[in-house]
Amino acid sequence: MLDILLSYESLRVIWWCLLGALLIGFAIMDGFDLGVATLLPFIAKTEEERRSVLHTVAPYWEGNQVWLLLGGGAIFAAWPAVYAVSFSALYLVLFLLLLAIILRPISFIFREKIQNKIWKRVWAYTHFVAGIVPAVLAGVAVGNVILGIPFSISAEDLSITYSGTFLALLNPYALFIGLISLVMLVTQGAIYSALKTEGNIAIRSAKIANKAVFLLLFLYIIASIVSMFFIEGYVLGSTMAHNAPSNPLHKVVLKQRGALYHNFIKLYWPLLAPILVISGIFFTSIFLKSKAFVKAFISNSVTILGIVATAGVTTFPFILPSSSDLISSLTVWDSSSSKLTLRLMLVVTIVFIPIIIFYTSWMFHVLRGKISIQDAQDIEY
C-alpha cells in the first residue's frame, strides 16, 4: 500500500492536490483581508470606522500570506517547469500583484505616522488599491492558465520561449475570471467584517455580503456556460507513462471546444466542485439572513474551495497548457520534479502544514470576538 502511495504517479497527483490546497488556503485566509481592504471605502465612512476595520485584519495579514509563499515555493520545488514558464509569461501580472501586496503593510503603518486627515485618507485608499488589484490579477492569472499561454519548449535543450505580451493577458475571458475572483474575495471580506465589527460597519458589511453572494453565483454560472460552449480547452491525445521521467515533449495534445468540461463527462468526482460551490452559496445566504456570521464564513470558505477546485479539475491533467505550441503544454505527468524530490518535500509538508494550521487556529482563538471603535482607538501599530 505504501509503495503505491509513494509511487511516482501517486506523488505527482498528491502534489497537484497539495498545490491546489495551498492556493485554496490563500484564497480563504488572505482572501478575507484582501476583501476587507477592497471594501474599506464602502463600509467605513469616518476615520474612526476606518481604523476599526483595519484593526480587524491587522493581526492576521502576515500569517495569512504564508499560504501564498507556500504556494510559490511548492510550484518552484515540485513543478520547476511550471514555475519557469509562469514567472516568465505572467511576470508583469505577478509583479503588480506582489507590489500591491507590499503596499498593504506600508499602508497599515504609514497612515499612523502623521495625524493629518488628508494623509490618513491617502493611505486608506492605498490600502483599497492593495486589496482590489491582487484580487483581480489573481483571477486574471488563473483565466490565462485556463486559456493557455503562448510558449514553446525546444526539443534540443528544453529551453522555454514565451511569445506573448502583457496586454494579451488582459483578454476579456481572463478579466471576467478576475471579476469572479474579486467578487469571491469581497464576499469573504464582507462576511468577515460583519463578524468582527459592530454597529454601522457590521450592518453595511452584512448588506454587501447578502448581495455579493448571489452575484458570485450568477457570475459562476455565466463563466461555466462560456467555458463549456465557447472556450477551447486541451485534451491529451496520447501521453507518456505516468511514472516516467519528466519530459513535456513526449505526448500529443489536441485543442477543442468543450474540452474544459471533458473531465466532468468522462469522470464523476470533478462534479463535487460545482456541488460545493452551489451548496456553499445556498448555506451562506441562509446563515447571512440569520446573522450567523461564523457559519456564513465557513460555508463561504467551502464556496471558495469549490470555485478554485473547479478551475483545477476542468484543466486536469494540464497545469499550464501552451496555446501556441500544444506539445509544449505542461501536465501533471511530465513537468514535475524527480521522485526523490517529491518524496522528501512530502515529508516536510506533512510536518509543517499542521504546525501552520495549529498556530493560525490558535491566533484566531486568542483574538476572537468583535472589535469596537473604542477598542481600535486604544491600539498602537
Compute how many other C-beta atoms are within 10 angstroms of the C-beta atom of residue 152: 16
Scan for cell 507590489, then name that residue.
Answer: 99
Question: Is residue 157 helix, strand or coil?
Answer: coil
- Structural domain contains residue 4: no
**Contact yes or no for 98/164 (Cβ under 8 A):** no
CA–CA distances in Å: residue 185 to residues 28, 135, 300: 8, 7, 10
User: What's the confidence (pLDDT) of residue 337?
Assistant: 92
Q: Rounded to whole angstroms, how far apart are CA atoms 180 and 373?
A: 32
* 260 within domain boundaries: yes
CA contacts within 13 A on the Cβ side of 182 = 18
Look at residue 330 in the predicted model and tell me its pLDDT: 93
Q: What is the pTM of this model?
A: 0.92
Instruction: Give a yes or no: residue 85 inside a domain.
Output: yes
Q: Quote the pLDDT of residue 261.
A: 82
Within-domain flag for 309:
yes
Residue 251: phi and psi, rounded to 5, are -160, 170
> How far is 26 from 20, CA to CA, in rounded Å?
10
Domain membership flag for residue 2: no
User: What backbone phi and psi angles, to 5 degrees, belong to 197?
Assistant: -115, 175
What pLDDT sits at residue 310?
94
Backbone angles phi, psi at 113, to 5 degrees: -80, -30
Low-confidence ranges of the chain (pLDDT < 50): none
Contact residues for 358 (Cβ-Cβ < 8 A; gap 6+):
none
What is the predicted pLDDT for the residue at 364? 84
Ramachandran sector of residue 75 (left: φ over 0; alpha: ψ -120 to 50; beta: rest): alpha
Q: Answer for the pair 286, 301: CB distance below 8 angstroms, yes or no.
A: no
β partners of residue 232? 257
Confirm whether 105 is domain-assigned: yes
Provide the residue range defining the domain that includes 304: 29-377
- What is the number of domains present in the chain? 1
13 occurs within a structural domain: no
Instruction: Report pLDDT digits (tens) over 302-333.
Output: 999 999 999 999 999 999 999 999 999 999 99
3-state secondary structure of 111: coil
Distance of CA 223 to the CA centre of its chain: 17
> What is the per-residue pLDDT for 97?
86
Domain membership of residue 18 (yes or no) is no
Q: What is the rounded CA–CA span in Å between residue 188 and residue 28?
A: 8
